[in-house]
Amino acid sequence: MKKADIELQFNWIFVLIVGTVILAFFIGVVMKQKGFAEQKTGVQLSADLETITTGAEVSKGTAQIIKVPQLGIEFRSEDCLRRYSIGGGTKQYREKIIFAPGLIKGNEILAWTMDWNVPYRVTNFLFLTSPQMRYILIDLSGANELAFQVNKSLPNEMYRELVTNPNSIINNRNYKVRLAYFSALPSQIVVPDELQSVNDKDLTAVNIVSSTPYKTGTLTFYEKKGSSFQPVGQTYILGILSIYGAIFTDDYEMYNCNMKEAFKKMNFVTTIIQNRTNVLYNDVAICMDEYYLSFMPLQTIAAESSILMSIFPVSSQARVDSLYNAAFVELESSNRNLQLQSCPELY
Amino acid sequence: MGETIAILIIFFFLVIFGFGFYVRVQQSGFQRQKLEGTNLRAIQVAQKASFLPELQCSFKNVQVDDCIDLIKLDAFGRSLSNSDGSFYQYYSTVFGKSDIRVQMVYPPGPTYIVYTTEVTKPENNLSTFVPVALYNATSKSYSFGILSVNTYE
Amino acid sequence: MEVMGLAIIIILLTLGLLLVVRFIILKPESDIRKVQSESQLAANFINAMLQASTGCNKYQIKALLQDCATSNAVNCNGEDACSYVNRTIAYIVGRTLIYWDKSFNLSVSNTNINFPPGGINFFRGDCTGEKEAKFSPIQAGGKTITVSLEVCR
């Protein structure tokens, strides 16, 4: 063979090898950069969500749609260590109270903030969900006032509907569906026919039992197992916002952990209110009788909240009822009397 | 052949140079993001302090923005230092490494420490000043105050 | 031929580098904390200042301004409302905006009359560029007083 032929072949082999090396190098760099960029976006979004949740927290009574990349946001609670994950980033949140489903999908988040008053403002509850997640409020009697009120109060941007017959529900192929039954019997909590094909983890239910004025009651969380709903656990309501919370969050542990955090905050705020009442009792002599009457309910709220923040919902029914009575009956009455007497109010 | 190798050398030199430049640009981007993150955190802490129900004035259970109740403020400060530590631990997760004070400017008055952390070598100290009305429930009068929030890294 | 190709590549790379330097490295930094802080400062300052109770029979600054704009009948230990409130606002401004080295323009004016002669004005620094402003109208006996604060960057 001539030297030229050998050289030509060698040239081609050389080109092949070098070409492959260069291609492999650049493909490697691109893949690594892609993963890196996704992680960076996840971490950035995680930080942005922190800012958004803080901003939303302080602006109560607002509902807003926030545009986000389509990475999906997961909310989890393990032993009440609550965290959210986006892309590669996970962030733990401690003092915030966020009711959200386990997964928020899509490029939009609905953020709704309301202030939790028991009876004074304790904290803001932040409700997050995806406009693509479907909420179905089921009022079997057709005359449940709470169902009507909840349906009216929930943000318009939320994909929700109020029905009386579960079998009238059509499967719209939403990525998640949450059913909220109002005062239904356990035997009435059924998986609607059209939703039988939905994955077990994507269909959950809650049964809300509460009577006027909807400040206390019970909640039973259900998860789908095959063709029926199985109860996960029972917990309690304190204030209508906790009802919204049970609708927004599809996880029993997440609901309870959020409420524990809320009771912890209640305990701290009550300590401040107690100290303030003490000062007013000593300084505003003409009103001291009414301030004296408020010491007991404040002490009850402080005591019950300090226990509930650890044990909720175990053995909590009586404590929640006692707290409700102290807050919404006794303390509200004291505050009203102080207003009528033109005395500095408790809250 | 020689030319091919020479071209390849120059090519790889350009690639390495470009890569090095890209890393420098990324680093500068990270520094910028870090500073932005620090600024955001400072805003968050200032907002949280301004809207804390433990400090905010309220009348007929309606919160008043940009108003701090002096009795609550005093009680808050005392609770942070007096309690078993759980109060302070809770608020350290809210405020992190920061120093929050309320100074009564007019009529001249004391400075209340709302929250503070021991920081040996404070870095990136960012100060935010928020004018607030300070309400005294006993005398039903207001003072002009400044809520100052210093955040550290 | 290859050398020409290389030359083109180098020219393109240089152009790319120039664009990167211009749009990424030399990108002006946005200080969101400063913007947020100044916006809140302007709004809160006026609200808090107007509510503050003074040493003049515990009248609020707002009430003294209203009296100044109408009858100027209030006697503050031998001083009229206009001078007293002017002095009080000067005190507050001195311990806040001036102390923080801010450029600002604070004015209390009335569109109908020269109130008081020359109005109540405090300013510092150059306020011709970007600014955060807050205007607060106060009713006073059929007249409107405007309290405005511009915090300049």
Instruction: Give the percent of chain B with pLDDT over 90.
Output: 50
Tokens of A132: 């693509």
B85 touches A at CB < 8 Å: no
Cα torsion angle, C70, C74, C80, C84, sign: negative
Which residue type does A8 have?
L
- B122-128 long-range Cβ contacts below 8 angstroms, 24+ apart: B122/B152, B122/B153, B123/B152, B123/B153, B124/B38, B124/B152, B124/B153, B125/B150, B125/B151, B125/B152, B126/B38, B126/B39, B126/B42, B126/B150, B126/B151, B126/C33, B128/B42, B128/B43, B128/B45, B128/B46, B128/C33, B128/C37
Please tell me whether residues A50 and A141 are part of one structural domain.
no
**Closest chain B residue to the Cα of C37, Cα to Cα:** B128
A23 touches B at CB < 8 Å: no
Q: What is the largest CA-CA distance in chain B?
A: 95
Q: Which of B8, B30, B38, B90 to mutate to test the interface with A (most CBs of A within 10 A)?
A: B90
Please tell me whether residues A297 and A191 are part of one structural domain.
no
Please tell me whether residues A166 and A270 are part of one structural domain.
no
* pLDDT score, position C116: 60
Residue at A346 is within a domain:
no
Please tell me whether residues A239 and A271 are part of one structural domain.
no
Alpha carbon B19 to chain centroid, angstroms: 36
Q: Does B50 sit within 8 Å of A18, measured CB to CB?
A: no
Cβ atoms C133, C150 nearer than 8 A: yes
Please tell me whether residues A204 and A275 are part of one structural domain.
no
Q: Does A275 sit within 8 Å of B44, measured CB to CB?
A: no
B14 touches A at CB < 8 Å: no
* pLDDT score, position C117: 61
Q: Which of A197, A224, A250 is the last residue of a domain?
A: A250
Please tell me whether residues A3 and A114 are part of one structural domain.
yes
Residues of chain C positioned with their CB less than 8 A from the CB of B129: 37, 41, 96, 100
Q: Which of A272, A338, A347 to mutate to test the interface with B (most CBs of B within 10 A)?
A: A272
> Residues of B at the C interface (Cβ-Cβ below 8 Å)?
3, 7, 10, 14, 18, 21, 25, 28-29, 32, 35-36, 39-40, 42-43, 46, 66-67, 105-107, 126, 128-133, 141-146
Please tell me whether residues A97 and A141 are part of one structural domain.
no
Q: Which residue has the tokens 């609200």?
A: C47
What is the residue range of A234's domain? 133-250
Query: Chain A 251-280, CB below 8 Å of chain B: which residues?
Result: 264, 268-269, 271-273, 275-276, 279-280
Please tell me whether residues A238 and A264 are part of one structural domain.
no
- Please give, rounded to a whole number of angstroms, the shortest distance from the CA of A219 to a CA of chain B: 28
Residue at A286 is within a domain:
yes
Of B7, B18, B39, the CB nearest to C31: B39
Q: What DSSP line would sit under A235-303, residue for residue?
A: EEEESHHHHHHHHH---HHHHHHHHHHHHHHHHHHHHHHHHHHHHHHHH-GGGHHHHHHHHHHHHHHHH
Cβ atoms A50, A96 nearer than 8 A: no
- As a whole number of Å, the CA-based R_g of chain B is 25
Confidence category of residue C114, pLDDT binned at 50, 70, 90: very low
Q: How many domains does chain B have?
A: 1
Residues of chain A positioned with their CB less than 8 A from the CB of B22: none
Q: Does B61 sit within 8 Å of A269, measured CB to CB?
A: no
Residues of chain C positioned with their CB less than 8 A from the CB of B107: 52-55
Query: Chain C 45-74, CB below 8 Å of chain B: which residues?
Result: 45, 47-49, 51-55, 58, 60
Residue at A232 is within a domain:
yes
- DSSP E strands in chain C: the ranges are 75-76, 79-80, 103-110, 120-124, 131-140, 143-152
pTM of this prediction? 0.88
Q: Which of B144, B148, B150, B151 to mutate to test the interface with C (most CBs of C within 10 A)?
A: B144
What is the residue range of B63's domain? 2-151
- Cβ burial of A43 (10 Å; 0-12, 13-18, 19+) is middle
Please tell me whether residues A165 and A186 are part of one structural domain.
yes
Pick the closest to residue A100 from A133, A69, A62, A123 (CA basis).
Answer: A133
Higher pLDDT, B123 or A347: A347
Q: What is the pLDDT of residues B70-115, one digit of tens each?
A: 999 999 999 988 767 889 999 999 999 999 999 999 999 999 999 9
Pick the closest to residue A259 from A278, A283, A243, A279 (CA basis).
Answer: A243
The span from the CA of A71 to the CA of A177, in Å, is 20
Tokens of B20: 């090095």
Please tell me whether residues A186 and A283 are part of one structural domain.
no
Q: Cis bond leading into A69, ω under 30°?
A: no
Residue at A347 is within a domain:
no
Q: Can you say whether residue A239 is alpha, beta or left, with left for phi > 0 and alpha for psi between -120 and 50 degrees?
A: left
* pLDDT score, position B76: 95
Residue at A26 is within a domain:
yes
Cβ atoms A244, A150 nearer than 8 A: yes
Q: Which has the minimum average pLDDT: A164-168, B2-6, B128-132?
A: B2-6
Q: What is the mean pLDDT of residues C123-151?
A: 88
The span from the CA of B49 to the CA of B68, in Å, is 10
* pLDDT score, position A1: 58
Q: What is the pLDDT of residues C25-54, one digit of tens each?
A: 666 666 777 777 777 899 899 999 999 999
Q: What is the pLDDT of residues A26-47, one digit of tens each?
A: 899 889 888 888 777 777 777 7
The most confident of the ranges A311-315, B120-124, C5-9 is: A311-315
Q: Does B37 sit within 8 Å of A58, measured CB to CB?
A: no
Pick the closest to residue A272 from B135, B68, B79, B70 (CA basis).
Answer: B79
The span from the CA of B1 to the CA of A7, in Å, is 9
Q: Does B58 sit within 8 Å of A121, measured CB to CB?
A: yes
Residue at A111 is within a domain:
yes
pLDDT along chain A (347 residues), means of 10: 77 88 89 82 76 74 85 92 86 91 94 93 94 96 94 95 94 96 94 95 96 89 96 96 97 97 96 96 94 96 97 93 94 95 94
Q: Which of A130, A148, A175 is the last residue of a domain?
A: A130
Residues of chain C positioned with their CB less than 8 A from the CB of B7: 2, 6
Residue C112: is its pLDDT beyond 60?
no
Q: How many domains does chain A have?
A: 3
Residue at A123 is within a domain:
yes
Q: Which of A130, A146, A179 is the last residue of a domain?
A: A130
**Phi, psi angle pair for A133, to nearest 5°:** -85, 140
**3-class state of residue C11 by DSSP:** helix
- Please give, rounded to a whole number of angstroms, the shortest distance from the CA of C36 to a CA of chain B: 8
- Please give, rounded to a whole number of angstroms, the shortest distance from the CA of B119 to a CA of chain A: 22
- Please give, rounded to a whole number of angstroms, the shortest distance from the CA of B18 to a CA of chain A: 13
Please tell me whether residues A118 and A165 are part of one structural domain.
no
Tokens of A19: 């070409």
Q: Which residue has the tokens 């083109």?
A: C8
Please tell me whether residues A319 and A334 are part of one structural domain.
yes
Mean pLDDT across chain B: 88
Residue at A198 is within a domain:
yes
Residues 6+ apart with CB under 8 A from C87: C79
Of B4, B44, B54, the CB nearest to A51: B44
Q: Which of B10, B61, B115 to mutate to test the interface with A (most CBs of A within 10 A)?
A: B61
Q: Can you say whether residue A54 is alpha, beta or left, with left for phi > 0 and alpha for psi between -120 and 50 degrees?
A: alpha
Residue C55: is its pLDDT beyond 80?
yes
The span from the CA of C114 to the CA of C129, in Å, is 27
* pLDDT score, position C48: 96
Q: Does A268 sit within 8 Å of B79, measured CB to CB?
A: yes
* pLDDT score, position A87: 77
